[in-house]
Structure 1
Amino acid sequence: MNTPDTLILTATCASRLGTVDVVTRYLYEQGCYVADMQTFDDARAGQFFIRAEFRRPADGQFDEVAFRDGFAPHAARFELQWQLTERKRKPNVVILVSKFDHCLNDLLYRYRTGQLAIEIPAIISNHPDLQRLADWHHIPYYHLPVTADTKAEQEDRMWDIINESEAELVVLARYMQVLSPELCDKLAGWAINIHHSLLPGFKGAQPYHQAYAKGVKLVGATAHYINNELDEGPIITQGIQPVDHSHYPEDLVAKGRDVECVTLAKAIQYHIEKRVFMYQGKTVVLGN
């Protein structure tokens, strides 16, 4: 899958006149063609968000350091919080998993075929079951068993692996352990979890069984950033699947698997493409 040879400029600041112009005018002055752009102005919060994807000048002359230095004073006038990212750059992603393999399988397929522009330097699990799957993809697999007594030690080792892997994103692909508040604090803003319900409904364990007990007519999945509150982190994406009275809990589980995979993959895609802004405990997602 071809990834555009472009750069992505993202920025946010207080709502004020000229916020779009300060970005687009500078790109024009540098000879950079804007290939794609989304903006959002939160009228209630008074906050502006912009994502501009642009091509380098046609003559090929582009100095990223000079570009950053030149844009900095313009950004300072508007108190912009901004980032510049090369679209083709593949961030390191560490995946946490337990025994359920459907989300991991899906992510590895998208990784192998280039649908997800990432590198996976490590897979960490509290069970040995998915070792062969990781081996087949030539990805290091770390089996770190955990009990109540060894949780702190296990998480310390996990944190070491994440750092040694130079991970920029951690993905909990049905990792069925509640992370400690200390690890949640370390991973805040750069760890994505997939929960198998439409949050904020049916938090915690066995959400499909909870949904069955309530007779719901839709089941779904939620990909969110983690925080110190169980299943309460800022939501990135959600997916749904219609069901009815004839679906027993096992049927809901089966129906939900595909939704979980697609929802998680989409959240990762949005994250690595710099489409997600966290603000006031929730997200702004400038999707395509």
Structure 2
Amino acid sequence: MSNVLRVTKQTFTIAVAAATILWSIGASVLVAPLIAQAAVTPLADVPDGSLIKGATHPAVYYYDGAERFVFPNQQTFKTWYADFSSVKAISMADLGTIPLGDNVVYRPGTRLVKIDTMPNVYAVGDNGALHWVPDEATAKRLYGNSWAQRVDDVPDAFFTNYSADPDNDLSSDSLHPEGSLLKNGGKNYLVDGGELSLVPEAAFAANRFRDAYAIAVSDTVIADFAMGDNVGSSDFASPAQDGSAPADTGSGTGTGTGTGTGTGTDTGSASTPAGS
């Protein structure tokens, strides 16, 4: 019995030490929580569009059938998936045969983002395109009085995965940006290609949309958009999106100098759009 206890304590100590090292150096990819050892699935049996990890490697990837895309942290992962229940373990040999794709960026229309070292707040569009929110009035009009609860801090090292273009900046009369999920009269709509597309219930589930990210809007907001085709099954479910990196992979700092401060909701503090 004492030998069993010693082994158990040693295992726990090693696990704690490993977690401490990862925390101290800052893990560069998302790692799945410690769970019971999953059965290894042959790569040939893994459907395109699956979440995968190596049998002895904790990092989680999105697999599109050709490449594996890295989730840089849990905040990014949570904009695409509610949990890790669908992750499939594959052999390390199989994992090594899959080329790396781009880092996954925040799902469009889910959270607002900023970086630790700048006050500017952005909405995230397709493929990491950033839409600068210039002031609090614009933030409230588009995202409601509790807009600050949507703000996440993105580490500087990951912000280069996003692109800022002054042409994408929002203003006092802007419509909701690409990827926004709007709710009105018990129906959900997606802003896509500058139009509003109805999201039927089946498509809502298939695309893994979540009520938590839907923005309640008035009839007037709905009427401001031209109506497009209904959203189909899984049209917007891929974290790889169209598989392309942002056109501009610079610092993504936008055009505003900003006077606001804040650390984002992951630290429990509200952020203020620059210029408010």
* Fold conserved between structures, TM > 0.5: no
TM range (shorter): under 0.3
More helix by share: 1
Task: Name the TM-score, length of structure 1 as normaliser.
Answer: 0.23
Task: Name the TM-score, length of structure 2 as normaliser.
Answer: 0.24
